[in-house]
Amino acid sequence: MEVIDHVVIIGASHAAVQLMISLRQQGWLGGITVISDELHMPYQRPPLSKAYLDGSVEEGRLALRAPEMYEKLDAVFKLGHTVVAIDVATNQITLDTGEKIAYTKLALCTGARVRQLALPGAELGGVHYLRTMDDVKGIRQSAKNAKRAVIIGGGYIGLETAASLTKLGIKVTVLETESRLLKRVASEQVSEFYKRLHEEEGVEIRLGSKVVALQGDGQVRSVICDDDTYSDADMVIIGVGVIPNTELASEAGLVVENGIVVDEFAQTSHPDIVAAGDCTFHPNALLKRSLRLESVPNASEQAKAAAASLCGIKKAYSELPWFWSDQFDVKLQIVGISQGYTEAVVRGDTSRDRSFTVFYIKDQHIIAADCINRPKDFMMAKKLILQQSTIDVAALVDEGIDIKTLIN
């Protein structure tokens, strides 16, 4: 009996959509089934904490692709279903309904989920996390009658949410346990800028504030910190990071380490299974290290490598990571990974302006850049990082010198 090729993709993320497109482009003629625990067709996640939350973009404009494209791809979607097991011995997955689906190849695009806080009062009405479209629908509903919001966590999601709620006329307080915003991912200059930006826009920033409880009468009314200070709140959004969804892979016997371990071809430890996106721990030849990234560009590019592997083609994934964040009138574009930098230098004025770039230096080489309202610097920074030549720091920060002249 002839075996009919069939790819099952678990997850309906950015990675999943790119994977199915690339599969057909690479010549995959077999079936494609996509399984998602959400009831929505694939949608863009980055606008959720930004334009979708503040109401400037409506749900219809979030679709990743038009329905007609999925018809052309001849892809079958099973929405609102959770995969509870992968049987690598029989090449089958089991859904929460008990249904079993056979595959010849499997792609894990399981993404990540929010890290939850075990706080007294976390079950109160008006307490939210932000990851999915339905999460934001709940936040928007709470925002209709809210005057004060507290955001727990001063990372990018927390700050983007603060900006969006401020645009809606809500008084926002951000509570951050660390001594500065974005401490894990940015320099002191960038941290101080975002503190200034938000305070100029009316957001209250409280650093060194560890939340110990939420209080209310069925509806959240206040947030209590460990120093006995409290903040009034009609709604609370918790944004303290995400956890990769690796349980299915681990239970199936795949290698997992800070994510589903894959090689440069997005191949897992099982020959019939690939993985792509936020759930993977992968090598990057440009960075000379393995890491897990939470970004759309990474998910899309890695998915292309995964699709090639499923088609028997070796296409290594090795891209320079980049990210972005929109807050108020500021677009931040990040290129590279700043971890391990020994010096952070500034092109521009961080104290007054809303336009500058922080370059991260290690061993006289640029390894990353945070570009605030400077798209030209962003493009040049990519080239400077990739050329890996010794940099003249004095020339780099001198705005009288065209940054183009530093590129070999």
CATH of the domain at 370: 3.30.390.30
Average pLDDT over residues 83-98: 98
Is the separation of the CB atoms in 204 and 173 below 8 Å?
Answer: yes
- Residue finishing a domain among 209, 240, 271: 240
**Within-domain flag for 382:** yes
The per-residue DSSP string of 51-63 comes to: HHHHTSS-GGGGB
**Within-domain flag for 118:** no
Average pLDDT over residues 2-26: 94
229 pLDDT exceeds 80?
Answer: yes
At 3, the pLDDT band (50, 70, 90 cuts) reads low
pLDDT for res 130:
98
Residues 293 and 355 reside in one and the same domain? no
Average pLDDT over residues 269-294: 96
Residues 227 and 214 reside in one and the same domain? yes
- Mention every residue, 6+ apart, whose C-beta is less than 8 A from residue 137: none
- Looking at 239-243, 352-356, 366-370, which range is the least confident one? 352-356
Residues 359 and 370 reside in one and the same domain? yes
**Within-domain flag for 277:** yes
pLDDT for res 352:
83
- Mention every residue, 6+ apart, whose C-beta is less than 8 A from residue 224: 211, 212, 213, 214, 215, 230
Residues 227 and 250 reside in one and the same domain? no
pLDDT for res 1:
38
Residues 109 and 248 reside in one and the same domain? yes
Tell me the three state secondary structure of residue 114.
Answer: strand
Determine how β-strand 235-238 pairs with β-strand 148-152.
Answer: parallel
Neighbour-count burial of 16, counting CB atoms closer than 10 A to its CB (0-12 exposed, 13-18 middle, 19+ buried):
buried
Helix and strand tally (H, E) in the chain?
Answer: 10, 26
Phi-psi region at 392: left, alpha or beta (left = phi > 0; alpha = psi -120 to 50)? beta
**Within-domain flag for 1:** no
Tell me the residue range of the domain where 251 lies: 6-113+243-310
Residue pointed to by tokens 């939470």: 294
Is the separation of the CB atoms in 272 and 88 below 8 Å?
Answer: yes
- Residue finishing a domain among 240, 269, 285: 240
* Tokens, residue 212: 């110990």
**Within-domain flag for 319:** no
Structural domain count, the chain: 3
Residues 22 and 55 reside in one and the same domain? yes
Tell me the three state secondary structure of residue 17.
Answer: helix
Task: Give the predicted TM-score (pTM) of the model.
Answer: 0.96
Phi, psi for 347 (deg, rounded to 5)? -105, 105
What sign has the CA pseudo-torsion 7, 13, 18, 21?
A: positive
Residues 236 and 249 reside in one and the same domain? no
pLDDT for res 172:
98
**Within-domain flag for 181:** yes
At 235-273, the pLDDT tens digits run 999 999 999 999 999 999 999 999 999 999 999 999 999
Residues 12 and 84 reside in one and the same domain? yes
Residues 285 and 344 reside in one and the same domain? no
The per-residue DSSP string of 222-278 comes to: EEEETTS-EEE-SEEEE---EEE--HHHHHTT--BSSSEE--TTSB-SSTTEEE-ST
**Within-domain flag for 153:** yes
3-state helix, strand, coil split of the chain in percent (to 5) is 25, 30, 40
Average pLDDT over residues 33-44: 98
Residues 217 and 152 reside in one and the same domain? yes
What distance in Å separates the CA atoms of residue 130 and residue 113, rounded to the nearest whole number?
Answer: 10
Mean pLDDT, all residues of the chain: 96
pLDDT for res 299:
97
Question: What percentage of the chain carries pLDDT values higher than 70?
Answer: 99
* Tokens, residue 389: 């030549």
CATH of the domain at 81: 3.50.50.60
Average pLDDT over residues 103-121: 98
DSSP H stretches of helix in 153-246: 156-167, 188-200
**AA letter at 46:** P
2 pLDDT exceeds 70?
Answer: no
Residues 11 and 101 reside in one and the same domain? yes
**Within-domain flag for 120:** no
Residues 104 and 249 reside in one and the same domain? yes
Neighbour-count burial of 260, counting CB atoms closer than 10 A to its CB (0-12 exposed, 13-18 middle, 19+ buried):
buried
398 pLDDT exceeds 70?
Answer: yes
